[in-house]
Structures are given as structure tokens and as C-alpha cells.
Amino acid sequence: MDEDAPSPASPNASLPPEFSDPLIQPFGGQAGAPVDPHAHPGSCYAQYKADLGLNSISDDNPYHPFVSQLDWEVARWAKTHGPGSTAFTEFLKIPEVTERLGLSFRSSKDLNNILHSSLPGRPSFYRNTVQVAGETYELYLRDAMQCVQALYGSPEFAAELVFAPVKHFASVGGEKVRMYSDMHTGDWWWEIQQKLERQKSGATIVPLIISSDKTQLTQFRNRSAYPVYLTIGNIPKETRRKPSRQAQLLLGYFPVTSMEHIKNDEVRRRALASLFHECMRLVLAPIRDASRDGVELASGDGVLRRCHPIFAAFVGDYPEQVLVTLCKTGECPKGSIDPSELGSYDTDCKLRSVATAVNALRTFELTNDPLTYVQACRAAGIKPVDAFWKDLPFSDIYLAITPDILHQLYQGMVKHVISWLKVAYGKRAIDARFQSLPPNHHLRLFSRGISKLSRVSGSEHEDICRSLLGVIADLPLPDGQSPVRIVRAVRALLDFVYLAQYPVHTTLSLRQLDDALAVFHANKQVFIDLGMREQFNLPKLHSLRHYAYSIKMLGSADNFNTSYSERLHIDFAKSAYRASNRKDEYPQMARWLLRKEQIHAHAAYIAWRLSGCPEAMDIPPPPSPHQPKLLRQIARYPNEKSVSFAQASERFGAEDFGRILKEYIVRTNHPTFTPAEVATHLRAWILPFRTVAVYYRLKFWHPDALGHDHSPDALDSIHARPMYFDTQGRRVNGRFDTALINEDGEGGSSGVAGYRIGQIRMIFSLSKAAVRASFLHGEAPSSHFAYVEWFSRFPSGPDPNSRMYRIRRTIVQGERVASIVPIQDIHRSIHLFPRFGRAKDPSWTSNNVLELCREFFVNCFSDRHCYITVR
């Protein structure tokens, strides 16, 4: 088999731009300017206060219409986290509960009446009907323009809104590179702004981001819902993707039907598409004229601008993309390319022409001839369905289709490659290696392997990706065939997956993205040679070619991931359905959602009142409810107050702990000593203490590796805990994690220069008396220390195929090399893949493989921070 296929290029060349503060080029002119430049911003909650019926800001009760803080907190709990309405009413009927708590409501119905009559309203739902194929269908909608106003005019977002496009640049070696992150840094906003400014200056674009997807409401009764969501690109992506901020609103519930009364499959599919587009046309009808002519909207600080709400992006999986663009299943929904060429990297795929599609859709209006209409649509590559986007100004549906990390990558190509690898190597071999990987904070240990997993979710595929390359890095193929191309293909795909999730991109990282895809295509033939595929005409594989262009136009891919809408299904569909009585559920679900939105808005108003009624620009964003509040790296009190040197060796594996600690203290006190002088001093000096306090865990809170947002991977920790027995009397093996350590203080924010990997055997501190007696001037270089067993230093370059660094245990004269380091030199946890060899040693397990294996690969895929900084 050919081993000359390209290998992944070195990925470190383009790191500096993402870490630097950008040079900002504003659009200039009157873009995003207020209607009245001399107007002063008003009170951000003035309108809300007026809707409450309050006349002055000095009203004593900030919780109005609730009579007290307790009254409000009970109401808030009942509507956000409390039991069902019946259970809550029964609770209130307990004698003296309402009297002792001083509540203004005595039942769930009373509370609902307060919300309905006293709190400012939200965009309301209304029932509508559409007729398709002789049948009438019901849907529940909101006025899209009211939803845009609710988001754009929310005081919660006033300090964060973006009103005009910008271009971000960074300088790398004298070269000016472009940076892309939020939607307003992409080319689409800039180009649309230019078009609007040529018509009339002073426009403020409000990009509409719409997502839709069917979801199951129940597990057994086959009840489904079809929610459609709306958010705006003026709100930063870090805010949009947090459900707690409610920066995405439910536009409506579309009808769910299979149209079984239509027997012809093609006619049924066309009727279902017509139903969807009719519903979308109803939803977006209020914005059509405002998109073209503009409408004055007030932001949360009361400033009026001429806003143009423009349909800019559609977020959905492949079936939704096909449905929206009216192309056929198996085709590219964005570009013009023959379906038989989808697996080719070299065949050009130009963006489809929306003008051509619109002209074809208008043929029937011009000719009133169905045959001519069908022929025109067929020539344009679309189905003859009256598309909702046909009359939306400045909208390009093909450009609006965005990257989908969840379904195209994790539930798409990653899922495919995992299935191919199971066939290539055998399930038993792969499972055995997954079962023997050492633990790490970021890794999920698959104790039973991965072959028996069923209904694997996107998050589970993400967990598999963290370990996949290390499992196959040195796994031989049957019959002695070379695995080089498989390893290179998997590495390239994982590079693409991780690069695609960068929150900030540059022209250089986008070049890396395309290079990684090119390497995968160059090596993918191996899966055909091994009999796992006959061809690669997969729409999800082809979609990866459009990532770089979409990022340039609309910003980084994390603006649009469908995992956000999957999360919204929980609040806007599943939980709402469970709150109903399952009979005529949509009106009940709509009312339930409106009440939750009212509670959220009133909570923000109360927080503003209690903070002294600051101006809109001074309101700090609320913290994420799931963001850890780590005030220290290590626990305040030790897990064991007194561990002797003998116990350190016996229980923690810290061999010769006393001698190594004494050597560290001597070298700290006398940094200019030669090795001979250190040895002489060690023989003459006796440690004035014999015990230390021990801690089992060291925690980290990494800022995002690109410095723009906290990520779920930001929490990190290292365990150094000996064997113990749990509360059931079962033995739990000890765990001693590996870490990336700044060995000589010269390690940087990226790359491995200056760093070395060590296994943390013990984390400890010295008593104040021990510090005074041991260190000169009675001061230690750190409050806490770690006993570390070293691995070899990083080689000059990684493995040529896997692009992972290979290291070994450092052993001198049969003993492991160890030393003491201050904990501030420990940069982060690091995961190691054992080099299993041709066959895994059956004695190796997840608990002992770090001790028994001598050679390892360094895992750069454990989390995003590690990938960006260590790879």
C-alpha cells in the first residue's frame, strides 16, 4: 500500500494572530448611527417601569407587583424550578403557609393572574392556519417584528449590542492577516452595509439567525414538535449561546404531519416542503418591508436607529438545509456540483445563484403555465415550491446555510470514520485499547469499549474524538498492511474538527483548515482499498469544503452550531410539553413559555433596581449559572494533615521523598552551589521536620485559549490520591495524573518549548514552623509543592504520521527521576496515550498502564485549550 500520501502539516505556524488583540478597522460613515445624533440615551428600564404603572424611580418596593422579596422569590421559584401547578396549589393550601410567608397569591391560578395582569407583556403567540394539498393545518406563531424588537430593545443586551460591521486584523511577521469571530467581523455584514449606504446612509443592520428542527417530545408516544427559533447577530455569540440569557426566542410551532393521505412519494415530499415554506412565509411576513425600507427601533438604552432586519443565516441539519434551499436529497444545498463529484476535493463547487432561483420561482407568476414553471425550476436545480425567501430583500439562502459542527462533523464524518475503523482494525482490538487508557479530567473512560454503545450522541462522539488517534496510532492492520494512511486521515479529520471550532479564525488558520481537509482527501482512498467504502459522495463530507468561505462571510462556526438549538428544545419544547396536560398542548406550551419569559425579564429589572439603577452601558452581564467560581487552585485545608516521609513512599509512590525534598530546599537556599557543594551540604544537614500536609487535587481555570470566552473545557484538575476504600468498603485504586510543567520558567502561552511532562505523585505543603526552619529568611518560593516523576523532554518534532510527540519515562540506573516543583510551575493536566505496540499487553488496565508502560504519545486532543496550546 502506498505510504507516500501527504501527511498533516505542522499546525503551529499560525497561532500568534489568534492570541493577539486585533487591529480594528471600522466601517466608517453613518453606519449604525442614531436617528438623532444629539439625543441622549434614556433610562434603560424606563418603559418597563412605566408598563408596571410606577411613576418614579424612588418607589420603595423594587419587587412590585409582588409585595416583598420573599413573595417574589417564591413566585420565581414556582415558575422556573418548582413543581407542577397542582402540586404548588396544594402546597399553598397548607394552613398558614401563605399567611406566614406573606404571599400575595393563594394558588397557582392567582400567581398566573398577577403575571398576566401586572407584568409587562412579551411578544404573544397567535393561532393561524395554512392550507396545503387540500388539508388545513394549525400553527402557533409570534410576530417576528415584535420578537426582533424584544431582543434588540432588551436592556439586558444594551451594553453588548453591535450596530456596525468592522474588520479585525493582526500582524504576523510583517504580514497583515484578517481575523474572523463574531458575525459583524465577517464580509457579509460589510457588503450588505455597503449596499444600504448607497441607498441611504445611516442604516443599522439587524441580522436574523433562524433555526428549525423537529424534536421528540416523548420517548414512547411518538409525539413531536417543530419549533422555530430566532436570534439576532447584533448580540455577541457568547451571549447568544447561553440559554440562561434568553437571547434566542421561540418564533412558533409548525405543524407536524406525515401527509399519509398523499400516496405518491414525490408529491408528498413536495407538499411537505410547501407546508414548511408557507409557515415560514407567515412567520417572516412582518419583516419583509422593514428589511428593504428600514424601521426605527429603540435599543435597550432608548436610542433610536433606522434598523433593517435582514434574514442572514439559517441553522439546521442536512434535511432542514435541503428543505429550505429546495434542492434534492443527496445534493449540495449551497453550491452547484454534480452529486457524483461530492467526494472529490478538486472539483470546483461555486455558490448557487439565488437570483437564478428567484427568477425560476417567479416564472409561474409571469407565464401562469405550470409546465414552464416546473421546467424553469428544474433548470435552476430546485423543486417547484413557492420559497419563503423569494421576496426577502438582501437575503441569499445559499449563503445563509451555515456550518453545522454537530451533524456534519461529530454526527457526520466522525461517526463514519469510527465505523470504518471498527471494520479495519476489529472491534475487540479497539475496545481493548479504549479500556486501557489512563484517566484524565477531560476524558471519558469507556470501561466497556465503544463498540457496544447504542444511539451515540454528539457529545459521546466528541468524547471518542479525544482518544481516537491514540488508540490507532500504533495499531497494526490485519495481514500486515500499512496503517500509515489511516493514521494520517484520522489525524487530518481531527485537525479539521478542532480547527473548525476555533472561536477566532485568521486567514492563516483558515488555510490550515483547508490543508487538513486536503490531507484527509489525499489519504481517504485507504478506506476504499480496505473495502469499507465504494465511493465518498457524502454530502456531509462535501459540506466541509464550504467551512472556510462561510467563516469569512458570517464569522466563526460557533456562531451557528445546531447543538444550541438542540439545547433549546429542552426549554422550549420538552419541558413546555411536560407542563401541559397533553391535550391541545400548543396553547398551553405557549402560555408556559410566556410566563417564564416574564419572570426572566422581571428578575433582570429587579437586579437593575437593587444595583442602584445604573445606565445601560454600566450594567454588568450576569454570570453563567454553570460557571465555576474557583477562587483558589487548591483546597483551603489539606486532605491529610500529617503524612510521614515513609508514608509518602509507601502510599503515594514518592520514592526517597525526604532526600529529594532536602535537595530541593538546599538548591533553593543556595542556587549558586555546584553539584559537589550540594552533595556536601546534604550530608551535613538534617531536615528539621518529618511530616507534610497532603492535598489530593489541584484545580485550574484556563481562560479560553484564544482569550475571547470561557469554554466548557476551561475547568481542569490534577489528581494525586492514593488507594482508598469507599463507603461500601470497596477498594478504589490510586490515581496519579500527568501534568505539563514549566520546567525552567521559559514556557510560553503556546507550543511545548520550555515545558516537560511529569507524573504528580504528591501535592503537599509545609507548616509555617518547617518553612522558617528550612528556608533562608523564613520564606518559601511557594505555599504548595508537588513531587514529580519526570518523563523525557519533548523531541525536536512530532511523529511524522500521527503528529503527536513521543516521550518515555526518564530512568537513570534503574530508578525513576523525580524532583520537587512549586505548584505554580504546573501549567495544566496532560493526557498520555500508551504505546501499546502491535498487541496490547493483557495485564495493562486503565489503573496501572501509566506504571507499566514505558513509552507514550502526548494527547493534544483532550480539550480545546490543549489542542491550541500544546499541539
Distances (CA, A) of 230 to 187, 252, 748: 22, 10, 42
Angle at Cα 623 formed by Cα 622 and Cα 625, nearest 5°? Answer: 115
Each residue's pLDDT tens digit, 728-770:
999 999 999 999 999 887 887 778 899 999 999 999 999 999 9
Assess contact for 160 and 235: CB atoms under 8 A.
yes
CB-count burial class (<10 Å; 0-12, 13-18, 19+) for 817: middle
Name the DSSP class of 41. Answer: P
Name the DSSP class of 285. Answer: G
Residue type, 827: H
CB-count burial class (<10 Å; 0-12, 13-18, 19+) for 371: exposed
Ranges of each domain in the chain: 53-118, 122-326+385-402+560-608, 329-337+348-384, 409-544, 640-870
Each residue's pLDDT tens digit, 373-385:
999 999 999 999 9
Q: Would the CA dihedral through 502, 505, 510, 515 be positive or negative?
A: negative
707 pLDDT higher than 60: no
Whole-number pLDDT of residue 751: 84
pTM over 0.75: yes
Residue 777 — pLDDT band, cuts 50, 70, 90?
A: confident
Whole-number pLDDT of residue 73: 96
Residue in this structure with the C-alpha cell 502526548, named with its chain if needed: 858
399 pLDDT higher than 50: yes
Distances (CA, A) of 482 to 3, 469, 495: 8, 16, 22
Question: What is the chain's mean pLDDT, rounded?
Answer: 90
Residue in this structure with the C-alpha cell 400548543, named with its chain if needed: 586
Give the integer Cα–Cα distance in Å for 744 and 726: 39
Each residue's pLDDT tens digit, 211-235:
999 998 887 667 899 999 999 999 9
Residue type, 798: P
DSSP one-letter string for 534-576? S----HHHHHGGGHHHHHHHH--GGGS-HHHHHHHHIIIIIHH
Cell numbers given for 463? 468524547
Show the DSSP H helices in 264-353 as ranges.
Answer: 265-284, 288-293, 318-325
Strand 23-26 vs strand 215-216: parallel, antiparallel, or unpaired?
A: unpaired
DSSP one-letter string for 227-269? EEEEEETTS-HHHHT-GGGT-SEEEEEE-----TT---HHHHH
Residue in this structure with the C-alpha cell 494512511, named with its chain if needed: 485
Query: Minimal CA–CA distance to 787: which of 686, 649, 632, 644?
Result: 649
Residue 404 — pLDDT band, cuts 50, 70, 90?
A: very high
Residue 705 — pLDDT band, cuts 50, 70, 90?
A: very low
Lowest mean pLDDT among 219-223, 487-491, 642-646: 219-223
Whole-number pLDDT of residue 310: 98
Give the integer Cα–Cα distance in Å for 34 and 594: 31
Assess contact for 787 and 657: CB atoms under 8 A.
yes
166-192 burial, b for 16+ CB within 10 Å, e for fewer? bbbbbebeeeebbbbbbbbbbbbbbeb
Assess contact for 386 and 365: CB atoms under 8 A.
no
With residue 117 as reference, give the H or E element that holds it.
Answer: helix 108-118
Give the integer Cα–Cα distance in Å for 349 and 397: 16
Angle at Cα 662 formed by Cα 661 and Cα 668, nearest 5°? Answer: 90
Each residue's pLDDT tens digit, 427-454:
999 999 999 999 999 999 999 999 999 8
6 pLDDT higher than 90: no
Q: Which residues contact 267 (CB under 8 A, 6 or more apart)?
A: 133
Residue in this structure with the C-alpha cell 500529617, named with its chain if needed: 642
Helices 414-425 & 484-500, crossing angle to 10 degrees? 160
Whole-number pLDDT of residue 632: 59
Query: Minimal CA–CA distance to 141: which of 228, 230, 252?
Result: 252
11 pLDDT higher than 70: no
Which percentage of the chain shows pLDDT scores above 70?
A: 94
Whole-number pLDDT of residue 628: 52
Tell me the residue ranges of DSSP E strands in 675-725.
691-695, 697-701, 715-721, 724-725
With residue 829 as reference, give the H or E element that holds it.
Answer: strand 826-829
Residue in this structure with the C-alpha cell 404571599, named with its chain if needed: 103
HSE, CB side, 13 Å, CA atoms: give it for residue 37: 5
HSE, CB side, 13 Å, CA atoms: give it for residue 467: 29
Give the integer Cα–Cα distance in Å for 687 and 769: 12
Assess contact for 197 and 29: CB atoms under 8 A.
yes
How many CB atoms are closer than 10 A to CB 855?
A: 17
Whole-number pLDDT of residue 177: 92
Provide φ and ψ at 401, rounded to 5°: -70, 125
91-96 contacts at long range (C-beta below 8 A, 24 or more positions apart): none
Provide φ and ψ at 398, rounded to 5°: -75, -35
Whole-number pLDDT of residue 415: 96
Query: Minimal CA–CA distance to 818: which of 652, 659, 660, 650?
Result: 660
613 pLDDT higher than 60: yes
Distances (CA, A) of 293 to 150, 201, 284, 725, 829: 20, 12, 15, 71, 55
**How confident is the model over 799-807, as a mean pLDDT?**
95
Assess contact for 145 and 294: CB atoms under 8 A.
no
Residue 550 — pLDDT band, cuts 50, 70, 90?
A: very high
625 pLDDT higher than 60: no
Whole-number pLDDT of residue 706: 43
12 pLDDT higher than 60: no
Give the integer Cα–Cα distance in Å for 81 and 104: 19
Cell numbers given for 148? 426582533
Q: Would the CA dihedral through 155, 211, 567, 256 be positive or negative?
A: positive
Give the integer Cα–Cα distance in Å for 204 and 291: 11
Whole-number pLDDT of residue 365: 86
Whole-number pLDDT of residue 617: 75
Give the integer Cα–Cα distance in Å for 117 and 742: 62
Residue 653 — pLDDT band, cuts 50, 70, 90?
A: very high
Give the integer Cα–Cα distance in Å for 779 and 279: 72
13 pLDDT higher than 50: no
Whole-number pLDDT of residue 54: 77
811 pLDDT higher than 90: yes
Whole-number pLDDT of residue 20: 61
Each residue's pLDDT tens digit, 138-193:
999 999 999 999 999 999 999 999 999 999 998 877 788 999 999 999 999 999 99
Give the integer Cα–Cα distance in Å for 512 and 12: 10
Give the integer Cα–Cα distance in Å for 741 and 828: 7
How many CB atoms are closer than 10 A to CB 80?
A: 12
Residue in this structure with the C-alpha cell 523564613, named with its chain if needed: 778
Assess contact for 762 and 657: CB atoms under 8 A.
yes
Name the DSSP class of 685. Answer: -
Angle at Cα 139 formed by Cα 137 and Cα 141, nearest 5°? Answer: 155
How many CB atoms are closer than 10 A to CB 554?
A: 28
Name the DSSP class of 794. Answer: P
Residue 711 — pLDDT band, cuts 50, 70, 90?
A: low
With residue 756 as reference, give the H or E element that holds it.
Answer: strand 755-765
